[in-house]
DNA sequence: GGCCCTCCCTACCATCTGGTAGACAAACGG
DNA sequence: CCGTTTGTCTACCAGATGGTAGGGAGGGCC
């Protein structure tokens, strides 16, 4: 594999694990299997390396964005007239899988939020804010239609759920220690409860489905055990 | 003030802001207004200093614990017939106020979770797990009585809410950047939505308490002043 | 006074840090 | 075939780092 890419990989791993200040370029060079000046040939300084790492992370995110936005915006499954079947799940899945795919992404973001809040802020405004906006719009529409609790602050809600996913992935194994049981099932419990919490905190209807606006329903096509507000 | 205490204060601040590796004992000594060897007289090594900082944080937490446990266990306000009036709010308030009182506590914990997961894990098991257990028991009882969604994973729920508070406080100002408006009202929006989300995700029927009388004022009686049906 | 103990200091040190200079070799392009 | 570019290396450097040695001022105590 390309040396430059290998450096980025190892740097990502080590920055996520020990932080920027806790990682020496020497240790990165060792991990790559190359001498320090060789590394500095590809990235003229440690700061440059960090920026490249972050840039790559965010560009990966940007590649995934359309898919996620599509999931949020696609109003209806092919033949169904239930207005919002599975959309919520698709967005949440897209988000969680992106970070679970490589938890270092989450850890890196949380570290940046702590280490360089100002710089991350501008990146968030650029990369995340518009997406939050789209999701929030969808939620606001759903709220107007009566599917979502009417006192929901849609932007703040989207932010909290995002934070639960990102922050959760970042500290999962540390945090999960307070749960009993094996590590594998602990993470699954946390994931499942996150989904339940996010849904129950959003959609109206306690347990039973009961959307206030009159709607003709198609057959209950809910493919998840805990369902969306498919109508009635 | 006691020099030793001042050192702990400044170390807490700087560790929270820049991390352990990003903070030199020289910089701490400067902040205190003392020479480096003087600092090392009180704390024989940098690692000792970190442990003392963390120990103090957790012992503060331990002092507050009884108050929080009491809030969780006290079943009913004097004259109320609603069976669980305000208990939830009291616990959540106790938790949030502890960390909002000094956000460095939250930042420090999140940093430790990332930097030294193994060590923090043992601390969490010791200091946090029992408390989560008590709260979870209360929630399980409430669930059995039908006040709480029956598919709630009470431990995982408690963990998620705790994480929302701690992690949220840690990265609030960074994260809040994606919300429009002034910083002051952003944090209030996030706080209010956190409370709403936590409650709606827990209690059946959406709102905390809902005895027969269906009054619209009951909803307005909740004390968050800033916009709730904000962005409609 | 004489003594010890607390506390803070100056001076120093070995090691590690990010980063540079420049030699060397292979590959490339005319 | 020769110059240039690309990439890796050894050798080195100045500064910062965590930590030590040891001196001295002050206060309490007998």
Mapped to the 3 state alphabet, what secondary structure does B161-207 carry? HHHHHHHHHHHHHHHHHHCCCCHHHHHHHHHHHHHHHHHHCCECCCC
A172 — contact with chain B (CB < 8 Å)? no
Torsion angle (degrees, nearest 10) of CA A61, A67, A72, A73? 130
Cross-strand pairs, B148: B203
CA-CA distances (angstroms) from residue B158 to A57, A179, B66, B69, B135? Answer: 31, 10, 17, 14, 7
Contact residues for B94 (Cβ-Cβ < 8 A; gap 6+): B64, B67, B68, B71
Q: B53 CB contacts (<8 Å, ≥6 apart)?
A: B8, B11, B12, B15, B108
Residue with tokens 């719009």: A137
B214/B29 Cα distance (integer angstroms): 61
Chain A touched by B156 (CB under 8 Å): yes
| Residues in a beta bridge with A203 | A148
Mean pLDDT value across residues B109-136: 92
A170 Cβ under 8 Å from any chain B Cβ? yes
The answer to whether residue B209 scores a pLDDT higher than 70 is no
Q: Provide the H-helix boundaries in B20-128.
A: 25-32, 36-42, 46-73, 87-101, 103-115, 117-127
- Would you give the distance in Å from CA B66 to the centre of its chain? 15
Nearest chain B residue to A156 by CA: give it. B190
User: Do the chains contact at B160 and A207, CB–CB below 8 Å?
Assistant: no
B205 touches chain A (CB under 8 A): yes
How many Å does it take to go from CA B175 to C1' C17?
A: 32
CA distance A101 to A23: 23
Interface of A with B in 43-62 (CB under 8 A): none
Strand D bases within 7 angstroms of protein beta carbons:
7-11, 16-22
Chain B partners of A178 at a C-beta cutoff of 8 Å? 124-125, 128-129, 132, 155, 159
Tell me if B206 and A117 make a contact (CB, 8 A cut-off).
no
Q: Whose CA is closest to B150, among A200, A171, A50?
A: A200
Q: Is the Cβ of B230 closer than 8 Å to some Cβ of chain A? A: yes
pLDDT over 80 at B156, yes or no: yes
Degrees, nearest 5: CA angle A221-A227-A230:
55
CA of A38 to C1' of C13 (A): 31
Q: Which residue is nearest to nucleotide D22 (CA to C1')?
A: B37
Q: How many residues does chain A have?
A: 232
**How many angstroms is C1' of C16 away from CA of B105?**
31
What pLDDT is attached to residue B176?
A: 86
pLDDT string in tens for chain A (232-residue length):
799 999 999 999 999 999 999 999 999 999 999 999 999 999 999 999 999 999 999 999 989 888 877 776 766 555 444 444 578 888 898 899 999 999 999 999 999 999 999 999 999 998 888 888 888 998 999 899 888 998 999 999 999 999 999 999 999 889 888 888 888 889 899 999 999 999 998 888 643 344 444 433 433 333 333 344 443 3
Q: Tally C-beta pairs within 8 A across A and B.
A: 194
């Amino acid at each position: 594999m390309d040396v430059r890419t290998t450096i980025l990989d190892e740097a990502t791993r080590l920055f996520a694990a020990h932080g920027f200040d806790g990682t020496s370029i020497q240790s990165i060079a060792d991990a790559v299997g190359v001498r320090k000046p060789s590394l500095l040939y590809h990235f003229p300084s440690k700061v440059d390396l960090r920026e490249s790492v972050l840039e790559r992370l965010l560009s990966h995110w940007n590649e995934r964005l359309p898919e996620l936005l599509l999931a949020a915006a696609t109003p209806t499954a092919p033949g169904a007239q239930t207005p919002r079947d599975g959309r919520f799940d698709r967005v949440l899945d897209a988000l969680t899988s992106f970070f679970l795919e490589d938890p270092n992404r989450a850890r890196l973001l949380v570290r940046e939020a702590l280490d360089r809040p100002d710089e991350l802020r501008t990146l968030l405004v650029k990369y995340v804010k518009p997406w939050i906006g789209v999701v929030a719009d969808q939620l606001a529409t759903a709220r107007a239609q009566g599917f979502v609790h009417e006192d929901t602050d849609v932007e703040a809600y989207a932010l909290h759920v995002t934070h639960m996913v990102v922050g959760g992935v970042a500290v999962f194994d540390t945090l999960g220690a307070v749960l009993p049981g094996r590590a594998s099932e602990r993470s699954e419990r946390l994931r499942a409860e996150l989904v339940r919490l996010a849904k129950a905190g959003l959609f109206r209807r306690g347990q039973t489905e009961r959307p206030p606006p009159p709607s003709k329903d198609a057959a209950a096509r809910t493919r998840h055990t805990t369902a969306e507000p498919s109508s009635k």
